[in-house]
Amino acid sequence: MIRRLIITLITGVLLTFTHSSFAEALLLARSSQDFPEAMSTLQNAISKKGYKISKVQRVDEGLKKSGFNSDKYRIVFFGKADEIRKLSNKFPELIPYLPLNFAIFAEGRDTLVSTLNPAGLKSYYPTLEIAIVFDRWEKDLREILSVIRNTK
C-alpha cells in the first residue's frame, strides 16, 4: 500500500513536471504548530471546505523499515464521495489520484503539509468539465494550506 502511494505520488510529480514548474507541481505549507495541532487544523480546514476525511494513514512504519526515523508522518485522504464516484466512472484514469490527499509530517519544530497540484492534470484531460473540477480543487487546496500557514 505504501509502495503504491509513493509510486503514485512520484508519477504525479513527474507527469506534472512536464507541463509546469516544480513550484506549481506541489502545493506546500509550513506551520509553526507542532504535529498534533497542525493535524487538527488540517482536518478542520478540510471539513470546513465541505470535504469528508475518508482515512488517515500512518506512513512512519513503512519509513522506519526503509531507514527513516519519524513517528509523525501521515497521509490524510479526503473528498466528496459522490464527486469521486462520478469522476471515477467517467475518467477511470483519475483513480490513482483519488481521493485527494495531503501528506503531513514533522520537520524539526515545524510541521509541513503538501499535496500534488491538481491543475497539473488539466493538460491530460482537456475537457472543460474536468478542468473546472481541477481548478476548484486547486483553489480549495490552496485555501486549506493558507489556513495551515496562518494558524499559530
Q: Is the pLDDT of residue 69 over 60?
A: yes
Task: Read off the pLDDT of each residue in 47-60 and give the average, rounded to a whole number.
Answer: 93
The three grid cell numbers given for residue 142, joined into one nine-digit string: 490552496
Q: What is the pLDDT of residue 108?
A: 84
CATH numbers and ranges of domains, the chain: 2-150 (3.30.310.70)
Q: Is the pLDDT of residue 121 over 60?
A: yes
Closest CA to 55 of 89, 101, 115: 101
Q: What is the pLDDT of residue 59?
A: 81
Q: What predicted TM-score, i.e. pTM, was given to this entire model?
A: 0.81
Q: What is the pLDDT of residue 135?
A: 95
